[in-house]
Amino acid sequence: MADTKAKITLTGDTAIELDVLKGTLGQDVIDIRSLGSKGVFTFDPGFTSTASCESKITFIDGDEGILLHRGFPIDQLATDSNYLEVCYILLYGEKPTQEEYDEFRTTVTRHTMIHEQITRLFHAFRRDSHPMAVMCGITGALAAFYHDSLDVNNPRHREIAAFRLLSKMPTMAAMCYKYSIGQPFVYPRNDLSYAGNFLNMMFSTPCETYEVNPVLERAMDRILILHADHEQNASTSTVRTAGSSGANPFACIAAGIASLWGPAHGGANEAALKMLEEISSVKHIPEFVRRAKDKNDSFRLMGFGHRVYKNYDPRATVMRETCHEVLKELGTKDDLLEVAMELEHIALNGPVLHREETVPERRLLLRHHSESDGHSIFDVHRDLRHGAYRWLDCTLE
């Protein structure tokens, strides 16, 4: 029982006493579960002041630009860990020993193949289908093949489903991309890292050897880490809602992908990239900034303003460093990255936009990972990095 109480008094009624719960971090929470029995409900569209669940996975302080996974700062994880280690931390709540990590990695590696009949499902889609549509269908179809991990009340089934989705999502995402460009599927290799294996499945072909560039490999790994979890956003909440009905994990993750597809969620990343392409050059920025300030113009500067972060997105710092590492390695100049960096500079150093519009996000700095190697892979690996695993983690919780 909570020691602190809150009281709500309605006109002409006796005060309703409610418990005030204290979290490990963050704001106190008023427990309103008893309000319904009093004939009163709360109205909070978008859950702007409501905690929909109790979770120990991620903490965000938007005012201070803090993002913690199981207590670990996101920049520390991106610098000192790898994606599979972060997955272990999210799932089990602590950093693994070397023995635990080796066993975890081996288990993931041995599940990267997908059922051969699933590969045939891709051919039922048009080759110009949006990758999110394909990923929704293929992910949901996994439940038709892996019947031994559908009982959400069985801890072993939940664990098997988690490993399968973490292992197979890169394979399915890469197949989605290969199918869209008419190239043969590339099977996973157990001798490569998680990120390296994904890049190999995306870009290797039977006619020539593909050597995974270690700088690009590390960049991809960081992208995955930076998007490993982000509290109770729309897609995570969707997965939790689906999971609360007892639906199998594969169906729940497919629902999360569908939610992520929305332009106000994962689709905003795609919109930011299209905006950079529309601006095209640093010399065009003043005109587009003028349009963004014009209330009668429909143009918006995408990638600025975050519902949670009011100061700075902590992931953007790591992403910027990674951008420069990749461009230096490739020896190329990226005009759109220059546009993104200049927009960020304007937002941080000049009163150009309203406060809520001047928080530069990591999505402005993503573009080089999408096309610096000659391929537009953003739509595909977005499905992967946003996270079957974070959704599974929340579903299991």
Assess whether 235 and 274 both reside in one domain: no
Is residue 63 in a domain?
Answer: no
24-38, 127-141, 228-242: which has the highest mean pLDDT? 127-141
Contact 212, 186 (CB under 8 A): no
| Predicted confidence (pLDDT) at residue 190 exceeds the cutoff of 70 | yes
pLDDT score recorded for residue 322: 86
Average pLDDT over residues 265-275: 71
Average pLDDT over residues 383-393: 51
Q: Name the band, by pLDDT with cuts 50, 70 and 90, for residue 379.
A: very low
> Scanning the structure block, which residue is given the tokens 């953007």?
316
Average pLDDT over residues 72-94: 93
Q: Name the band, by pLDDT with cuts 50, 70 and 90, for residue 113.
A: very high
pLDDT score recorded for residue 382: 46
pLDDT score recorded for residue 266: 64
Assess whether 87 and 102 both reside in one domain: yes
8-22, 259-273, 331-345: which has the highest mean pLDDT? 8-22
The partner residues of 60 in beta bridges, in order of sequence, read 67
pLDDT digits (tens, 9 = 90+) for 211-228: 999 999 999 999 899 888
pLDDT score recorded for residue 107: 96
Is residue 362 in a domain?
Answer: yes
Domain enclosing residue 332, as ranges: 263-372+382-396
Is residue 133 in a domain?
Answer: yes
pLDDT score recorded for residue 319: 84
Token readout for 312 is 């700075």
pTM of the complete model? 0.81
Can you tell me the distance from the alpha carbon of 69 to that of 394, in angstroms, rounded to the nearest whole number? 12
Radius of gyration of the chain (CA): 22
pLDDT score recorded for residue 393: 59
Can you tell me the distance from the alpha carbon of 375 to that of 358, in angstroms, rounded to the nearest whole number? 30
Assess whether 97 and 38 both reside in one domain: no
> How much is the mean pLDDT over the chain?
83
Q: Name the band, by pLDDT with cuts 50, 70 and 90, for residue 269.
A: low
Assess whether 355 and 301 both reside in one domain: yes
pLDDT score recorded for residue 268: 61
pLDDT digits (tens, 9 = 90+) for 144-167: 999 888 988 898 999 999 999 999
- Cβ count near 315 (within 10 Å): 24
Assess whether 123 and 77 both reside in one domain: yes
pLDDT score recorded for residue 57: 87
State the total domains in the chain.
3
Q: What do you get for the CA distance between the two ends of the chain, in Å?
A: 22
Q: What is the dihedral of CA 134, 260, 276, 179, to 10 degrees?
A: -10
Is residue 246 in a domain?
Answer: yes
Tell me the residue length of the chain: 397
Helices (H), 62-129: 74-80, 83-92, 98-109, 116-121
Is residue 308 in a domain?
Answer: yes
Token readout for 80 is 């000192």
pLDDT digits (tens, 9 = 90+) for 294-339: 888 888 777 665 555 456 678 888 888 888 888 788 887 777 778 8
Average pLDDT over residues 177-187: 96
Q: Name the band, by pLDDT with cuts 50, 70 and 90, for residue 372.
A: very low
Assess whether 272 and 353 both reside in one domain: yes
Assess whether 17 and 162 both reside in one domain: no
Q: Name the band, by pLDDT with cuts 50, 70 and 90, for residue 358.
A: very low
Assess whether 278 and 365 both reside in one domain: yes
3-state secondary structure of 16: strand
pLDDT score recorded for residue 181: 94
CATH number at residue 345: 1.10.230.10
Assess whether 362 and 349 both reside in one domain: yes
Is residue 61 in a domain?
Answer: no
CATH number at residue 17: 2.20.28.60
| Predicted confidence (pLDDT) at residue 292 exceeds the cutoff of 50 | yes
Is residue 195 in a domain?
Answer: yes
Average pLDDT over residues 390-395: 55
Assess whether 91 and 108 both reside in one domain: yes
CATH number at residue 99: 1.10.580.10
Assess whether 33 and 119 both reside in one domain: no
| Predicted confidence (pLDDT) at residue 384 exceeds the cutoff of 70 | no
Q: Name the band, by pLDDT with cuts 50, 70 and 90, for residue 197.
A: very high
Is residue 58 in a domain?
Answer: no
Q: What is the DSSP string of 149-194?
A: G--TT-HHHHHHHHHHHHHHHHHHHHHHHHHHTTPPP----TTS-H
pLDDT score recorded for residue 388: 54
3-state secondary structure of 148: helix
pLDDT score recorded for residue 371: 45
CA angle at 372 for the pair 370 and 376, rounded to the nearest 5°: 35
Token readout for 355 is 């406060």
Q: Name the band, by pLDDT with cuts 50, 70 and 90, for residue 134.
A: very high
pLDDT digits (tens, 9 = 90+) for 66-80: 889 898 999 999 999
| Predicted confidence (pLDDT) at residue 373 exceeds the cutoff of 50 | no
Contact 357, 305 (CB under 8 A): yes
Average pLDDT over residues 339-353: 70
Assess whether 124 and 214 both reside in one domain: yes
pLDDT score recorded for residue 6: 92
Greater model confidence, 59 or 120: 120
CA angle at 20 for the pair 15 and 24, rounded to the nearest 5°: 175
